[in-house]
Amino acid sequence: MSGPIEDVALVALSGVTKSFGAVRALAGVDLAVRRGECVGLVGHNGAGKSTLMQILAGTRTPTDGRFALAGKDIPIADVSVSRALDAGIRCVFQELSLCPNLTATENVRVRHATLSGFGWRRKASRLLTEALDSIFPGHGIAPAATVGDLSLGRRQMVEIAINFIVTDAAEPKLVILDEPTSSLDQSVASQLLAFARRFVERGGSVILISHILGDIFSTANRIVVMRDGAVVADRPVAAFDRAGLVAAMGHVAEDRDGRREAPAKSLREGEPMVVAMPPRQEDESRVAVHRGEIVGLAGLAGHGQTALLRLVHHAVHHRSRYATVKGRMAFVAGDRQSDGVFPLWSIGENVTVRSLPSLSRFGLVSSRREAAMEREWKETLKIRTPDMDDNILTLSGGNQQKALFARALGSDAEIISMDDPMRGVDVGTKREVYERIRQEAGRGRSFLWYTTEFDELLHCDHVYVFREGRIVAELGRGEFDEEKVLQASFEEAAA
């Protein structure tokens, strides 16, 4: 592995702290990024990674510490977005920063202020197409498409491409990628990582934040581990192995032992709780969910899995041609911002909202019972907050997701549908939630689980693979492995 080019650090932080009221998000961080290196940044949810990146991007000012750009000290009060942009620091935020009402081209203009005057639209469109072509060959995204009409994965691709655009006035020197692969399917994610490696070879720098450790190992030259708002390890990638890295993050290393023990008798007996047919299905295949069963929906992102979940959900209260549901149902969103959290409510209210009838007496919500439920789920899922009455948005992304899980698990639902709920969630939280799901299934709850990560399918009893809005394969426990799922997902393209 070639070492990074020795140079003055592009950006150097020392002793940087950041507090939000009583919560100390960063407790003295030292970090320097030089030219031509890819820094992998890992840590569990709430370790302070996102806050650190917001400081680097200039969107938050640190409470204390020193901040230097290209060797020049900058008073921390002067840390600002425009300074970071001038220094060539660009950031792909975890929750995307695109305007859904604009076209992809127009979003380029918003990000690159120098694109103006006559003919800006053509120029922006060309720059975007070039960037998309070089990062994601065969992307199929029209620059004139309205962003709100694009799938989440494609939005992510546009966001990434915009940040790598080189204009006459500015070029990216350090690009921060915060969970960039979480809403991309595997082939597109590997295109991105390959591009990041080429970018670094040409002398650019990348900070890669990812919960998928394979991405970190394949792309980074150096790994920085954060825990509780501080950097606890900062070493070349060769000095880590998988187990060592997980241990440094503060979790006990475990192998892939998540595979669920096969139950004594088959669950696929009797009448199913849910039967659903994708509208485009031409043959007799149906998705069926039985009591106590965990059913996985697999395939590449955006091939009709989310649509099926929506359809099933609709069928709970309406007559539907495509699905029948027997039982109460709750939903865990993957796209937190748009169909998950109530952004103006507290964490506690976000957890209890699905259960208010059972917390009520004489039609009024009992605040004592509500508080008890909030306390219980804060403990159970280890939601990291000083107070459940704080606003939900004070939580890190992964902890918001925990609150959404608590909402569904704490409800009286017999069936829980999940729309790729682990996007951007760290390894530790995932394990805790997997464990919980298994327990709940053991008690007779059913799960309908759309996931883009193969590892999660190992927790399922039965898997349906989707392609182009249809079920193309149905695999029982023990029948499926990664190769089979991939093969079914791609079959058409290979033929």
Chain contacts with another protein (rule: CB under 8 A): 57, 59, 81-82, 85, 91, 93, 96-102, 106-107, 109-111, 113, 115-117, 120-121, 149
Question: Measured from the CB atom, is 85 or 274 closer to another protein?
Answer: 85
- We find the least distance from the C-beta atom of residue 226 to another protein, in angstroms, to be 22
Q: Closer CB to another protein, residue 167 or residue 380? A: 167
Q: Which is nearer to another protein, 240 or 450 (CB)?
A: 450
Q: What residues have CB less than 8 Å from 368, skipping those under 6 apart?
A: none
CB 486 to another protein: min, Å? 28
Alpha-carbon torsion angle 31, 13, 59, 248, nearest 10: 30
Question: Which tokens hold the place of 45?
Answer: 């949810």
- Among residues 81, 25, 83, 80, the alpha carbon closest in space to that of 52 is found at 25
C-beta closer to another protein: residue 162 or 332? 162
Indicate the residue among 96 and 226 with the shorter CB distance to another protein: 96
> Least distance in Å: CB of 123 to another protein?
10
Closest approach of Cβ 85 to another protein, in Å?
5
Phi, psi of 389 (to 5 degrees): -85, -5
Nearest distance, CB of residue 79 and another protein, angstroms: 13
Q: How many other CB atoms are found less than 10 A from the CB of residue 284? A: 6
Q: Are 62 and 26 in contact (CB under 8 A)?
A: yes
| CA 196 from centre of chain | 19
Query: Of 96 and 388, which CB lies nearer to another protein in the complex structure?
Result: 96
Please check whether residue 473 is in contact with residue 464, taking contact to mean a CB–CB distance below 8 angstroms.
yes
Dig out the tokens for 194 from the structure: 């390959």
DSSP string of 455-494, one letter each residue: HHHTT-SEEEEEETTEEEEEEETTT--HHHHHHHHHHHHH
Q: How many CA atoms lie within 13 A of 324 on its CB side?
A: 7
We find the least distance from the C-beta atom of residue 114 to another protein, in angstroms, to be 10
Distance CA 215, CA 210 (A): 7
- Length of the chain as a residue count: 495
Q: Minimum distance from CB of 84 to another protein (Å)?
A: 9
Q: How far is the CB of 172 from another protein (least distance, A)?
A: 14
Query: Shortest approach of another protein to residue 116 CB, angstroms?
Result: 4
Residue given tokens 């000290």 in the structure block: 73
CB 352 within 8 A of CB 374: yes
Closest CA relative to residue 463, chosen from 315, 320, 260, 326: 260
Q: Which is nearer to another protein, 82 or 367 (by Cβ)?
A: 82
* Closer of 227 and 310 to another protein (Cβ): 310
104: tokens are 């992809």
Which residues lie across from 397 on neighbouring strands?
none
Whose Cβ is closer to another protein: residue 278's or residue 348's? 278
Question: Which residue is it, tokens 């590997």?
Answer: 190
Q: List beta partners, residue 207.
A: 39, 176
Burial of 274 (0-12, 13-18, 19+ CB in 10 A): buried
Query: Nearest approach, Cβ of 247 to another protein (angstroms)?
Result: 35
Query: 163 or 191, CB closer to another protein?
Result: 163
